[in-house]
């Protein structure tokens, strides 16, 4: 049958529309029959799901961890086999302690390598145990051998290590067997025909494939469980004991607190310097200009003169208050000339007789100097405001590694450190440097404020 040209054109257009070209579609030879997939299709089809990727990476990590652990856990076995064989063959019982001595020498090295293995594969940083003495002596050797950490590490490498090696070999063997069983259809054809027919029939291949898939699925879980169990055991046996961990924690907290105190003290000094060099200087300049205006401008109205004079008085009072604030933050003389000069200036500003005695051969730590200064400052402020005293005595001296500060007055007494006054805050500040504060203030007086500040570091 003959088909008209319009009908042929219509069929071709419909085919072009089905291929996705639409109007004006131009296809080369063979392209009219099928559409070529885009590159995004291949990338999407070959993309590994994130959960499967994480599982594969975790399985590879755990398997590598177990594989590296086998020779490390069996490192002492050849040593003991050699030692026992030498003693058995030579009948020389003098060589019997040789394996023990070699074990003691190898244990620190194995511990360091095991710590590196846990850090590299599992990301677990096992704290460093107590170091081996650099200079051996009978006393240091006995202390090192009798320590609980040394016994734990020897037990880990000598007794627990072979058991962990057997566990690791079983897990690795299960993974290898599972992989071999799951891929039996791929390698069974390489065997001789007689062997394949006798041992690997079709039913056997099916069973091997199913069992291999099951083992391949269980092997990553078993490797992860074994790695987690070893991680817990190593953290308990290879690292420091509970007492040593607590000691290290206390030392770390002490260092952190010292750094914090020094940082706060440095920030306080910075604020004092900014106020002294910036704000205070501008206030002084303002007061000077107001004073010049009052002295030189004679033809001012009375109301304007009163306003300028009031502003001049306010500026001078503000300077005085700012000076007191700066001295309360951190007096510059304390940093420049030390505790003796700072306490001398403090005692000179108190409106009652103060006997000061400072017995220091050199400077102490800046944080300790600052706390001692504020102990005296707060005590003298309380004497001035509340004690109704006629005189006071301040004594500062260093006895060994302790700085002792005593402030005594003949006032009414009755001061209580637990009443929530400034003395309680002062006790907290003294405690920040591991110091102690004692207050003796019976009713009727006298009152004694005594602080002991360690200054050995």
Q: In the block, which residue shows the tokens 């067997």?
A: 177
Residues 192 and 98 in one domain: yes
Q: What percent of the chain has pLDDT over 70?
A: 74
Q: Is residue 218 part of a domain?
A: yes
Q: Is residue 89 part of a domain?
A: yes
Instruction: Decide which of 228 and 387 is more confident.
Output: 228
10 Å Cβ neighbour count for 400? 9
The lowest-confidence range among 1-15, 137-151, 343-357 is: 1-15
Q: Is residue 261 part of a domain?
A: no
- Rounded Cα–Cα distance for residues 144 and 128 (Å): 15
CB burial of residue 25 (10 Å; 0-12, 13-18, 19+): middle
- Rounded Cα–Cα distance for residues 25 and 17 (Å): 8
Res 52: pLDDT = 78
Do 63 and 148 contact (CB within 8 A), yes or no?
no
SS3 358: strand
Write out pLDDT tens, residues 372-393. Answer: 888 888 888 888 887 788 888 8
- Rounded Cα–Cα distance for residues 161 and 117 (Å): 14
Residues 306 and 348 in one domain: no
pLDDT grade, residue 169 (50/70/90)? very high
* C-alpha closest to that of 405 among 374, 381, 429, 431: 374
pLDDT grade, residue 448 (50/70/90)? confident
Q: In the block, which residue shows the tokens 């257009």?
A: 13
Q: Is residue 262 part of a domain?
A: no
Residues 311 and 350 in one domain: no
Residues 35 and 117 in one domain: no
Residues 324 and 372 in one domain: no
Q: Is residue 296 part of a domain?
A: yes
We report the CATH number of the domain holding residue 448 as 3.30.565.10
Residues 179 and 210 in one domain: yes
Total of domains in the chain: 4
Domain edge (last residue) among 285, 303, 328: 328
Res 289: pLDDT = 77
CA 201 to each of CA 186, 204, 215: distance values in angstroms, whole numbers, following the listed order:
14, 5, 21
Residues 376 and 396 in one domain: yes
The lowest-confidence range among 45-49, 68-72, 108-112 is: 45-49
Q: Is residue 27 part of a domain?
A: yes
Do 63 and 223 contact (CB within 8 A), yes or no?
yes
Res 388: pLDDT = 80
Kindly state the average pLDDT of the residues 121-146: 70
Q: Is residue 233 part of a domain?
A: yes
Residues 194 and 76 in one domain: yes
CA 220 to each of CA 64, 81, 117, 174: distance values in angstroms, whole numbers, following the listed order:
11, 33, 19, 10
Give the domain range for residue 274: 268-328
CA 172 to each of CA 52, 123, 216, 311: distance values in angstroms, whole numbers, following the listed order:
21, 21, 11, 88
- What average pLDDT does the chain have? 77
Residues 92 and 233 in one domain: yes
Do 230 and 120 contact (CB within 8 A), yes or no?
no
Angle, to 10 degrees, between the axis of helix 50-73 and the axis of helix 202-237? 70
Res 347: pLDDT = 83
Do 387 and 409 contact (CB within 8 A), yes or no?
yes
Say whether pLDDT at 449 is over 50. Answer: yes
Residues 120 and 181 in one domain: yes
Q: Is residue 293 part of a domain?
A: yes
Residues 70 and 124 in one domain: yes
Residues 34 and 86 in one domain: no
What are the residues facing 454 on neighbouring strands? 402
Domain edge (last residue) among 328, 347, 366: 328
Write out pLDDT tens, residues 259-289. Answer: 666 666 666 666 666 666 667 677 777 777 7
Res 142: pLDDT = 66
Strands 354-359 and 392-399: parallel
Say whether pLDDT at 301 is over 90. Answer: no
Do 165 and 73 contact (CB within 8 A), yes or no?
yes
Burial 410-443 (b: 16+ CB within 10 A, else e): bbbbebebeeeebbeebbebbeebebebebebee
pLDDT grade, residue 70 (50/70/90)? very high
């Amino acid at each position: 049958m003959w088909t008209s040209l319009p009908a042929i054109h219509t069929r071709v257009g419909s085919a072009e529309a089905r291929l996705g070209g639409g109007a004006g579609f131009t296809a080369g030879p063979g392209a009219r029959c099928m559409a070529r997939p885009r590159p995004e299709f291949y990338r999407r089809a070959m993309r590994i799901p994130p959960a499967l990727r994480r599982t594969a990476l975790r399985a590879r990590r755990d398997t590598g961890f177990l594989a590296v652990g086998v020779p490390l856990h069996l490192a002492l076995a050849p040593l003991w086999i050699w030692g026992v064989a030498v003693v058995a063959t030579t009948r020389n019982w003098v060589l019997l302690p040789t394996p023990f001595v070699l074990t003691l020498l190898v244990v620190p090295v194995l511990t360091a390598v095991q710590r590196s293995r846990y850090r590299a594969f599992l990301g677990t940083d096992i704290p460093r145990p107590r170091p081996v003495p650099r200079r051996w002596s009978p006393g240091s050797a006995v202390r090192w051998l009798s320590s609980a950490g040394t016994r734990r590490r020897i037990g880990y490498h000598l007794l627990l290590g072979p058991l962990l090696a057997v566990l690791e070999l079983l897990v690795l063997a299960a993974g290898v067997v599972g992989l071999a069983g799951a891929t039996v259809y791929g390698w069974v054809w390489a065997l001789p025909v007689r062997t394949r027919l006798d041992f690997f029939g079709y039913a056997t291949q099916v069973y091997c494939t199913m069992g291999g898939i099951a083992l391949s699925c269980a092997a990553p879980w078993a490797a992860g469980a074994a790695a987690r169990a070893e991680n817990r055991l190593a953290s308990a046996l290879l690292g420091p004991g509970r007492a040593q961990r607590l000691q290290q924690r206390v030392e770390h907290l002490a260092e952190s607190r010292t750094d914090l105190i020094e940082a706060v003290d440095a920030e306080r000094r910075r604020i004092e310097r900014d106020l002294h060099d910036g704000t205070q200087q501008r206030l002084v300049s303002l007061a000077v200009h107001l004073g010049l205006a009052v002295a030189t401008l004679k033809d001012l109205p009375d109301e304007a003169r009163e306003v300028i004079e009031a502003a001049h008085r306010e500026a001078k009072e503000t300077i005085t208050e700012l000076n007191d604030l700066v001295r309360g933050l951190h007096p510059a003389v304390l940093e420049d000339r030390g505790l003796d000069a700072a306490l001398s200036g403090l005692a000179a500003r108190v409106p009652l007789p103060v006997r000061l005695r400072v017995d220091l051969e050199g400077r102490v730590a800046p944080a300790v100097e600052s706390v001692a200064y504020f102990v005296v400052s707060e005590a003298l402020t309380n004497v001035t405001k509340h004690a109704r005293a006629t005189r006071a005595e301040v004594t500062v001296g260093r006895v060994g590694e302790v700085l002792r500060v005593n402030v005594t007055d003949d006032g009414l007494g009755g001061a209580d450190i637990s009443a929530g006054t400034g003395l309680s805050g002062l006790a907290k500040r003294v405690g920040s440097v591991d110091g102690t504060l004692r207050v003796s203030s019976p009713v009727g007086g006298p009152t004694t404020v005594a602080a002991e500040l360690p200054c050995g570091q």
